[in-house]
C-alpha cells in the first residue's frame, strides 16, 4: 500500500473527491480526511481521520517496544548481577525476562505519549493550509493503482496538490535525516 495525500482547497472539492474514490472502488477505510471544518464531512459520508492517521503514534509505539525490551533485559542482567554477583540460574532468567517485559511496556507507554503529539509528516507540511481552510485527504492505494488514482483525480481536479511521503521526509520526520 502507498499513501497518497491530496491537499484540497475546500469542502465541496473534498466531498467530490471522496465520492470519486468510492467509484474507483476504494473503501472508506482507505480514505481519511483532516482539516479545520472536519465535523461536517461525516454528514456528507466522508471518513474523518483519527489520531492514528494524523500522528506518529503507531511508529512511536513500535519504536518504544523495539528499544524498551532490550533495554529492560539489559537492566535485568545488570540488576541481577549487582545483587547476586552471578549469571545463570532461574532467578537470573526471571529477572531478565521480567525486566524485558517491563521495559517493553514502559517503552510503549512513554513513546506513545510522545507519538500522539507528533504530527504525520504531511500534516506538518500542510499545517498552514489546513488552518486556512483546506483539507488533507490521506488515501491508501495499492501500489499498482497509484498512477491510475493520481491521473483520475488530477484530471478532474487540477487544483488539488497530490503528494506522498518521500524517503527523505520519512527519515527527517523520524529524526534521522537532515
Q: In this structure, are 141 and 163 located in the same domain?
A: yes
Distance from C-alpha of 60 to C-alpha of 108, rounded to nearest angstrom: 8
Domain tally, the chain: 2
Q: pLDDT in tens for each of the 178 residues of the chain?
A: 788 889 999 888 988 999 899 888 988 888 888 888 777 787 777 878 877 777 778 878 888 999 999 999 999 999 888 888 777 788 889 999 999 999 999 999 998 888 887 777 677 788 888 889 899 988 888 889 988 988 999 899 999 988 877 666 666 555 554 4
Q: Which of 97, 115, 133 is the last residue of a domain?
A: 115
CATH of the domain at 135: 3.30.70
Is residue 144 included in any domain, yes or no?
yes
pLDDT at 178: 46
Q: Which of 99, 115, 131 is the last residue of a domain?
A: 115
Residue of 111, 107, 115, 114 whose CA lies nearest to 70: 107
Q: Which of 94, 115, 136 is the last residue of a domain?
A: 115
Domain span holding position 110: 57-115
pLDDT at 159: 92
Cell of residue 152, nine digits: 483520475
Is residue 178 included in any domain, yes or no?
no
Is residue 162 included in any domain, yes or no?
yes
Cell of residue 61, nine digits: 509505539
Amino acid at each position: 500500500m502507498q499513501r497518497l495525500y491530496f491537499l484540497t482547497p475546500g469542502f465541496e472539492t473534498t466531498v467530490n473527491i471522496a465520492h470519486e474514490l468510492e467509484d474507483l472502488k476504494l473503501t472508506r477505510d482507505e480514505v481519511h480526511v483532516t482539516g479545520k471544518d472536519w465535523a461536517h464531512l461525516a454528514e456528507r459520508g466522508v471518513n474523518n481521520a483519527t489520531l492514528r492517521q494524523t500522528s506518529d503514534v503507531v511508529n512511536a509505539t513500535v519504536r518504544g517496544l523495539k528499544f524498551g525490551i532490550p533495554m529492560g533485559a539489559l537492566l535485568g542482567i545488570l540488576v541481577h548481577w549487582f545483587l547476586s554477583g552471578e549469571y545463570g540460574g532461574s532467578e537470573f532468567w526471571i529477572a531478565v525476562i521480567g525486566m524485558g517485559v517491563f521495559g517493553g511496556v514502559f517503552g510503549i507507554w512513554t513513546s506513545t505519549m510522545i507519538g500522539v503529539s507528533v504530527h504525520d509528516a504531511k500534516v506538518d507540511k500542510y499545517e498552514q493550509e489546513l488552518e486556512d481552510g483546506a483539507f488533507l485527504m490521506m488515501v491508501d492505494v495499492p501500489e499498482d493503482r497509484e498512477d491510475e488514482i493520481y491521473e483520475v483525480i488530477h484530471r478532474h481536479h487540477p487544483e488539488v496538490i497530490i503528494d506522498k511521503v518521500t524517503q527523505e521526509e520519512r527519515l527527517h520526520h523520524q529524526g534521522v535525516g537532515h
